[in-house]
Structure formats: C-alpha cells, structure tokens
C-alpha cells in the first residue's frame, strides 16, 4: 500500500516538474519572440526615416501660437 502511494507521489512530482519546465520554456520563447518582433519594428521605423537634417527647420513662432491656443 505504501509503495503505491509513494509511486503516485513520485509521478505527481515529475508531472509538476514537467509542467514547470514546459511553462518556463514557453515563457522564454514568448520573450524571445517579442524581443525579435520589437527589434524588427524598430529597425523598420529607423530605416524608413530617411530625412535630410539640413532641410529640417523649426518654426518656433508657430509652435508657440499652437501651444498657447491649446491652453
């Protein structure tokens, strides 16, 4: 009787251990996938921003007017 209970407990421990290892592996895979997705999107955004900075200028007066109108 005690042998059956002991075997059942050992099976249960291995089952919990397997579930734990599987969940850790699935979490690691999800984190890796999300990081690669994030890096791809950042690279996509940075590569599409092809701006010549010599042509960029700021209209500070217009920005001040817009900011003051929003208040």
What is the distance between the alpha carbons of residues 55 and 15, in angstroms, rounded to a whole number?
Answer: 64
Task: Look at the block and give the residue holding tokens 């960029």.
Answer: 56
| pLDDT in the model for residue 17 | 96
What is the distance between the alpha carbons of residues 8 and 47, in angstroms, rounded to a whole number?
Answer: 58
Question: What's the pTM value of the predicted model, to 2 decimals?
Answer: 0.53
What is the distance between the alpha carbons of residues 28 and 34, in angstroms, rounded to a whole number?
Answer: 10
| pLDDT in the model for residue 62 | 80
Q: What tens-digit pLDDT sequence spans the chain (71 residues)?
A: 556 778 888 899 999 999 999 999 999 999 999 999 888 888 777 776 566 666 656 777 887 887 777 65
């Amino acid at each position: 009787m005690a042998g059956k209970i002991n075997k059942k407990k050992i099976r249960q421990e291995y089952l919990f251990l397997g579930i734990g290892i599987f969940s850790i592996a699935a979490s690691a895979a999800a984190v890796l996938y999300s990081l690669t997705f994030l890096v791809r999107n950042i690279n996509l955004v940075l590569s599409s921003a092809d701006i010549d900075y010599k042509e960029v200028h700021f209209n500070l007066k217009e920005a001040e007017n817009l900011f003051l109108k929003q208040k």
